[in-house]
């Protein structure tokens, strides 16, 4: 499909982001290779792994997750500026991505993050890939913010939940967006209390084992109830924070997509999937593939019509490109500071 630059905007959505893996696999099988990928939050995680050639590693990691393993990666940090330190997750990313630089990736990639204090939108298109991804998924109050080039950054979904505008500004002529939340709000989001069962999920040598073999077991149970909620249905701290964040993200996404709509929208059906359901990767990847397959015929046809045919004059091609450039309005968010900050 050479001849037209394809952009892929991967939106945020916590555990629902595993559906992005299925979307990318379906596009790949159909011969559609994005030239530009922009990701926000979990979309930055999946997009960064794809751009660096590690999508298979991420898929393997996701499919192996159980409720027990998920809990083992949550290094609680009540004394800091986030409930979860995130170091265990960072170590896992480092294991696969290492010191890869964004500017050296085969596919052009940008992660979106928000600056604390100013609310500026930052496009992380240079520097260490792991740092950019961590900054983009640092959910306020849940994960610690990440310092990049002297600025403290957190989740980009606060300013650009589905970064279509980033793809356009970077030169994409056909933008495919993946919206993970289109059918969630309005019908009630699903954020279950993750009841962790330790008896049947695996051997005791997993990361969580050190938590349950200490005298602080009672404290661990208390933290679990306070953070994830009680059995009577009362929401925990994380449920309240994440669901409130999800409402804000949905409103911002609707507004920005109305002003800068994508050329194609892929919307997996994820109404019954909770934001913490990371252990449902098999199902979510399959739903992502199904959603992409429903759109593939239209997407392929539209890309084909925009691809300059052999014999097209240089003047006609230049006119076509100019007409498309006229519709690109980078920085449409007004006051956002749109610049790469990682060096």
CA angle, residues 253, 258, 261, in degrees to nearest 5:
90
For the question of residue 131 being annotated catalytic, the response is: no
Q: How far apart are CA 218 and CA 125, in angstroms?
A: 45
Q: How far apart are CA 139 and CA 20, in angstroms?
A: 19
In this structure, are residues 4 and 174 in contact, taking their beta carbons and an 8 Å threshold?
A: yes
Pairing outcome for strands 108-115 and 121-124: antiparallel
The single residue of 35, 41, 277, 333 carrying the catalytic annotation is 41
Q: How far apart are CA 147 and CA 323, in angstroms?
A: 39
The separation between the first and the last C-alpha atoms of the chain, rounded to the nearest angstrom, is 32
In this structure, are residues 76 and 109 in contact, taking their beta carbons and an 8 Å threshold?
A: no
239's tokens:
């449920």
Q: How far apart are CA 50 and CA 102, in angstroms?
A: 12
Q: How far apart are CA 260 and CA 164, in angstroms?
A: 7
Q: Which of 215, 240, 246 is nearest to 228 (CA)?
A: 240
pTM of the model: 0.77
**What three-state secondary structure class fits 281?**
helix
Residue keyed to tokens 């997009």: 47
Residue 113's pLDDT is 98
In this structure, are residues 123 and 109 in contact, taking their beta carbons and an 8 Å threshold?
A: no
Residue 220's DSSP bridge partners are none
The single residue of 35, 155, 263, 277 carrying the catalytic annotation is 155
For the question of residue 155 being annotated catalytic, the response is: yes
> For each of the chain's 343 residues, which pLDDT tens digit applies?
458 999 999 999 989 999 999 999 999 999 999 999 999 999 999 999 999 999 999 999 999 999 888 888 876 776 666 667 667 788 888 888 888 999 999 999 999 999 999 999 999 999 999 999 999 999 887 888 999 999 999 999 999 999 999 999 999 999 999 999 887 664 444 445 445 444 444 444 444 444 444 545 555 565 555 555 555 666 766 677 777 877 888 889 999 999 999 999 999 999 888 878 999 999 999 999 999 999 999 999 999 999 887 655 444 544 544 444 444 444 444 344 444 444 3
Q: How far apart are CA 113 and CA 145, in angstroms?
A: 10
């Amino acid at each position: 499909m050479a001849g037209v630059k394809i952009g892929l905007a991967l939106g945020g959505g916590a555990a629902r982001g595993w559906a992005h893996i299925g979307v990318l696999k379906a596009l790949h099988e159909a011969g559609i290779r994005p030239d530009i990928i922009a990701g926000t939050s979990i979309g930055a995680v999946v997009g960064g792994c794809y751009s660096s050639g590690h999508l298979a590693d991420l898929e393997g990691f996701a499919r192996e997750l159980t409720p027990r393993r998920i809990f083992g990666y949550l290094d609680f940090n009540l004394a800091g500026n986030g409930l979860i330190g995130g170091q265990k997750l960072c170590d896992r990313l480092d294991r696969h991505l290492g010191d890869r630089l964004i500017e050296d990736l085969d596919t052009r990639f940008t992660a979106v993050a928000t600056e604390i204090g100013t609310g500026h939108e930052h496009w992380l298109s240079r520097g260490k890939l792991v740092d950019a991804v961590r900054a983009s998924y640092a959910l306020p109050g849940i994960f610690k913010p990440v310092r990049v080039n002297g600025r403290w950054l957190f989740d980009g979904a606060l300013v650009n939940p589905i970064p279509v505008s980033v793809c356009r500004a970077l030169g994409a002529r056909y933008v495919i967006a993946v919206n993970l939340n289109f059918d969630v709000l309005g019908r009630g989001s699903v954020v279950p209390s993750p009841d962790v069962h330790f008896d049947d999920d695996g051997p005791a040598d997993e990361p969580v084992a050190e938590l349950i073999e200490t005298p602080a077991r009672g404290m661990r149970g208390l933290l679990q109830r306070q953070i994830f909620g009680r059995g009577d249905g009362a929401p925990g701290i994380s449920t309240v924070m994440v669901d409130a964040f999800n409402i804000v993200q949905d409103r911002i996404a609707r507004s920005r997509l109305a002003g800068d709509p994508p050329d194609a929208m892929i919307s997996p059906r994820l109404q019954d999937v909770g934001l913490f359901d990371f252990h449902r990767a098999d199902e979510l990847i399959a739903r992502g593939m199904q959603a992409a397959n429903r759109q593939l015929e239209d997407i392929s046809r539209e890309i084909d019509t925009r691809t300059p045919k052999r014999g097209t004059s240089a003047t006609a091609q230049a006119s076509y490109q100019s007409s498309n450039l006229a519709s690109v309005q980078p920085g449409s968010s007004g006051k956002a500071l749109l610049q790469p900050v990682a060096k």
